[in-house]
Chains A and B, each alone.
Chain A
């Protein structure tokens, strides 16, 4: 589905992504991990076409991403920070995105109902809390039942109930065979959702493996333990560089 070949991106002298190769397939739920500044967001933005890579090719369903925009109808994106025009109401924001993606007529409003957003339709974005805005972002990402979900810190700022609803929804979509790409710092939230882990370090791909493989390597079952063990392994490597 998503094929990333030799992706490189620098911001000035800073190398955000260094020769990344990744092949992400249908039915996978990939957790994108790595310390701050390791290039997670840059990678996501490259896939979305928000960041223009210096080198390398990204294809989605075989179509190249650069100078193309139609492929984004396959993607549902939930940004890390959802900020919307102050005086738009929730209803307006949803309608607006619906009108932009007018070719899609079937809407998946599970989350809108599940998170209670439909009851807040007339509230303006200015009056919303960060958590509620995050809910709106989630609703928008799932509204069109796309094949690919890109979720940047989806559960950050959500209350536990909403967080649970969202996780259920993610799992449900994964089970439908969708491709899900998540970044999150809250590893426990990824528990049970993720099938694969991608770990970035200083713009380089440290590893890309299934959760089972990693559990075997580390001998740990819980995801946060797995990751912690892996980080300890990678640490000395970093020192030696």
Chain B
């Protein structure tokens, strides 16, 4: 398993798209952080970049990569290794390459130019997002036979989570604003990894505002470490659940 992870990652760190992705992130971070003396404003811009680009790039790139590797995966499966191991190794290799790209592109400049808790949180949420969306790409890969359909599904998923979900949530909040909906809202956001990543960051940057709302649950939940732990846990679920599902489906998948 480690062998496959190693070689997949080795392949990907020399992949042009991964390199361009890393450079793009690095350029954005340096320009955003060095232009403005106000680093928390820079962090905010990087948060927006992270929330917008990381999910779509991760899921699209990973989906395409998995579908392109189908023959290679077949070859690996013809070797004496466990089926699910090959799959998880492919995932791990790809996810680590993309995480490395993010860590180098955003993490290093951010920690270098403004080493604080908010920067670490940004790094963590970006990495978790990468893991989540790569895991979803893997699920797409095992569920769809056809590459084009798979890419379509990836785009739809990315758009759903980055735009549509929030729109629906906002509509829900508007229409039920007279009811005590704090608890359901906290439950609902768990279904969107992008929101979870954003809330992680919100807890760093805007906790002062969050403390200002009288909603006892919000305050108790978001004001303490519980909020961060909740968000991270939910995001980890977003990694583990697609992986488990993929593993299950892949066991019975014909190649």
Contacts and interface: CB of A to CB of B under 8 A. Distances in A.
Chains A and B directly touch (beta carbon < 8 Å): yes
Interface string A1-42: 000000001010000000000000000000000000000000
A79 B7 contact: no
A81 interface: yes
A208 interface: no
A130 to B, nearest CB: 12
Contact of A49 (B3, B10, B15, B83): B83
Interface in B1-18: 3-4, 7-8, 10-12, 14-15
**B68, B74, B81 interface centre (most CB from chain A within 10 Å):** B74
Given A48-B77, A48-B78, A73-B80, A83 B7 contact: no
Contact of B254 (A45, A81, A86, A87): A45
Interface residues of B, number: 28
Contacts, number: 85
A87 B78 contact: no
Nearest to B73: A50
B7 A96 contact: yes
B75 interface: yes
Interface string A84-119: 111110001100110111000000000000000000
Contacts of B255: 45, 50-51
B69 interface: yes
A87 B68 CA distance: 13
A87 B14 contact: yes
Contacts of A69: 80-83
A205 interface: no
A49 B72 CA distance: 15
B252 interface: yes
B75 A86 contact: no
A51 B78 contact: no
Contacts of B12: 85, 87
Contacts of B37: none
Contacts of B8: 85
B61 to A, nearest CB: 13
Given A45-B255, A50-B255, A69-B81, A88 B7 contact: yes
A79 B70 CA distance: 12
A56 to B, nearest CB: 14
B7 A72 contact: no
B86 to A, nearest CB: 9
A72 B74 CA distance: 13
Interface string B218-255: 00000000000000000000000000000000001111
A57 interface: no
Contacts of B75: 77, 79, 82, 84, 137, 140
Contacts of A75: 78
Nearest to A48: B78
B76 interface: yes
A79 B75 CA distance: 7
Given A79-B78, A97-B79, A99-B3, A52 B254 contact: yes
Nearest to B79: A100
Closest 7 CB pairs of A and B: A77-B78, A85-B11, A87-B14, A73-B80, A83-B71, A99-B3, A72-B80
Given A87-B14, A88-B11, A150-B78, 18 more contacts: A9-B254, A45-B254, A49-B77, A50-B254, A52-B253, A72-B81, A77-B75, A79-B78, A83-B71, A85-B69, A86-B11, A87-B10, A87-B11, A87-B15, A92-B7, A93-B7, A96-B3, A101-B79
